[in-house]
Chains A and B, each alone.
Chain A
């Protein structure tokens, strides 16, 4: 059985656990990000993450130690940019490509020891034991905060003006969301690659919204879709020797098409 085969390798079972937790966390955060029209922020952050990863490899310091603070700080910066009435989207696009350029330059300075391909498109080989622990901690924090503040995040997403008028500190939840998103991106980036990680935030939410019309159902379906797509993609990548990140995203894409069709049929029928 192919699953038994995967589990017999310790680095693969580690990657399986990390991927599962990242998929779950990212899908839940994604619902709120997509509804707040913050999809671009996830994309921007992953590019910034790549830049930081490149610099970390040149300076030969621990990738997490540099990437984590840089991405967290950038998330707050990107959030402020996106709230601007005009020019916010262009600013994010510029920041993304600048970070990408810096990363590529850094990697080329680093020379043959660094694998550009793994940085861009991920590698399950890069999930070390310490990475696994960090991602376990990050996912636990994300899931716990998400469950505790579920209703507050919902209310400040649905109608921030009402939420503020009833005394809710909306900025707090926006900042929390930005913080959790950057944590998930940094942890997930090593495995999925910085070019593909943002799809893990966006695809589950968009697919779920095709078939579900209440917030709770969208959240549950997004989480389920994300986890199932991850497992299928992971196994397929092992069986067909495809890059893991790419196969997972392709499965997400298939689910998206499928759920769009289901939603369309449900509306007509």
Chain B
């Protein structure tokens, strides 16, 4: 089933196009990697999908029942203050505010759901700990848990492994793989070739004034794909 589709849309800021005539679609169960150099349109694409900026031309269509504000978004880490006092549970619970209707506090169901997600992501032991005292990997998992509170269908991850050590990176990728095999659709912006190579089934590549969208195998036969492989030291394939 198709979750998100864009046909010949143009995206950009303040009337200035960054990517023109973009056509893409995300099916339920997909693992889409979004790659490309800095400034080529990845962030613009993310913001457009989230509805933070409108497309300059055309529109992004969402499947029945998927609301734009219930995409499980994992933002780039840099935008969160390092010294913010907050427990893991407080952060995870805040993910459900998009559907929150109660006047005071969270409902019993919301709390139960948060607890379930906390266990599922392996944060059970540190649920009451302070976010600022966690390791980079634990912090990312906390934010991932928060995005799962917002949705059970589609995660949009913006460079989730930036700043993580190799082990934490591998653990996070494994976790994302598990979520995907549980039926959650993944869209991931990344600089790292490994998820694109190992886990993804589709690739959206942005380069200045051009893009590629298609299956992974097809991508790694294109000039852009081969160049990416070479830069990452995987050109022996």
Contact = CB atoms under 8 A, between A and B. Distances in A.
Interface of A: 35, 147-148, 150-152, 154-155, 157-159, 161-168, 209, 212-218
B1 interface: no
Contact of B85 (A159, A165, A166, A218): A218
Interface in B88-114: 90-91, 93-95, 97-98, 100, 103-106
B150 A158 contact: no
B79 interface: yes
Contacts of B90: 154, 214-216
Contacts of A155: 94, 97
Interface stretch (B65-73, B167-175, B194-202): B65-73
B80 A158 contact: yes
Contact of A214 (B80, B85, B98, B105): B85
B136 interface: no
A166 B150 contact: yes
B75 A161 contact: yes
Given A151-B105, A213-B85, A166 B70 contact: yes
Interface of A, secondary structure class, is helix
Interface of B: 50-52, 67-71, 73, 75, 79-81, 83-87, 90-91, 93-95, 97-98, 100, 103-106, 128, 130, 132-133, 146-147, 150
B85 A209 contact: yes
Contact of A151 (B73, B79, B100): B100
A116 B52 CA distance: 49
26 contacts: A151-B93, A151-B100, A154-B90, A155-B97, A158-B84, A158-B91, A159-B75, A159-B80, A159-B94, A162-B75, A162-B146, A162-B147, A163-B97, A164-B50, A165-B50, A165-B51, A165-B75, A166-B71, A166-B98, A168-B97, A168-B98, A209-B83, A213-B87, A213-B133, A214-B87, A214-B90
Of the candidates A157, A161, A168, the one having the most CB atoms from chain B within 10 angstroms of its own CB is A161
Nearest to B147: A162
B85 A151 contact: no
Given A158-B91, A216-B90, A167 B98 contact: yes
Contact of B79 (A161, A167, A212): A161
Contacts of A154: 86, 90, 94
A166 B94 CA distance: 10
Given A158-B80, A167-B69, A215 B97 contact: no
B100 A165 contact: no
A171 to B, nearest CB: 13
Contacts of A163: 94, 97
Contact of A35 (B81, B94, B133): B81
A216 B68 CA distance: 30
Contacts of B85: 35, 209, 212-215, 217-218
